Amino acid sequence: MIPAGYRLIEVEETESTNSACLQAAKDGDPGHLWIRAERQMAGRGSRGRSWVSGPGNLFASLLLVDPAPVASLANLTFVAALGVHEAIAALAAAHGEASDIALKWPNDVLVSARKVSGILLESHELIVAGDARRSVIVGIGVNCMSHPRDVPYRATDLAVEGMPVPARDMMERVATGVDNWLKRWDRGTNFGEIRRHWLAHAANLSKRIDVRLPNREVSGIFEGIDDKGMLCLRLDDGDLATISSAEVFFGTPPTHDK
């Protein structure tokens, strides 16, 4: 069961669950709506990439209406990531697995240093019945039973990591985790707590990372995130760069796959 106060619509097939949530928002849905699909025909990932929607995996999106002031909405990436992290950590405990579950800035969850989940946040200002409203869609994909091979950052799935779980069961775990962290976030008033917990699980904190920007690549020491969620990178010349959008890599990826 998903937490009280939410609704869940499950469909066999959709273009993408984010698109389905957007249509629900345009139709006047009040929010706190989860949509989960068995199959996604055109799933979207970050930076305009497609999301490989492998069989048996979780494809779900949450529609929230006016969840916080606009300036705080980007925080939802970290809120959702903590919710997914909590769900996977609980699953690992249930299976007796001592898995390394970590968060990679800004929106990935890693198991054994490989991507197992991604989050796509979309915000839309809509006019519904003559009233302006901000509809925010939190798209979450979790590799439960399969994972892609030909991707920029090596991936894994929960079954390979010793935590097989049906997508429907994972849906309930994720919905519970996200609800928990949404409450703690408190409509954007408590990002300080979100930031502290996110950093407690951050991958490669205080280590050298590679950051791919739209027009160049830089390397430096990952010093954390600031109070707006921007990545803080200590460059080789000693300057501290704050980065709002980029791709992060941790050196040379492993040469084997599972």
pLDDT value at residue 253: 45
Distance of CA 22 to the CA centre of its chain: 18
pLDDT 10s digits, 173-204: 999 999 999 999 999 999 999 999 999 999 99
d(CA 111, CA 176): 20
What average pLDDT does this structure show over 9-32? 96
pLDDT value at residue 97: 83
- The DSSP code for 75 is G
Give the whole-number percent of the chain exceeding pLDDT 70: 93
DSSP letters of 201-250?
TBTTTTSEEEEE-SS-EEEEEEEEE-TT--EEEE-TTS-EEEESS-EEE-
pLDDT 10s digits, 137-178: 999 999 999 999 888 889 999 999 999 999 999 999 999 999
To which H or E segment does residue 157 belong?
A: none
- The DSSP code for 48 is G
d(CA 167, CA 185): 26
> Residue with structure tokens 């389905």?
20
> What pTM value is reported for the model?
0.93
* 135 φψ region: left (φ > 0), alpha (ψ -120 to 50), beta (else): beta
Please state the φ and ψ torsions of residue 181, each to the nearest 5 degrees. Answer: -80, -30
Structure tokens at 150: 């030909």
Task: Give me the domains of the chain, ranges plus CATH numbers.
Answer: 7-200 (3.30.930.10), 208-249 (2.30.30.100)
pLDDT 10s digits, 58-75: 999 999 999 999 999 999
pLDDT value at residue 13: 94
Structure tokens at 168: 């429907």
d(CA 203, CA 16): 29
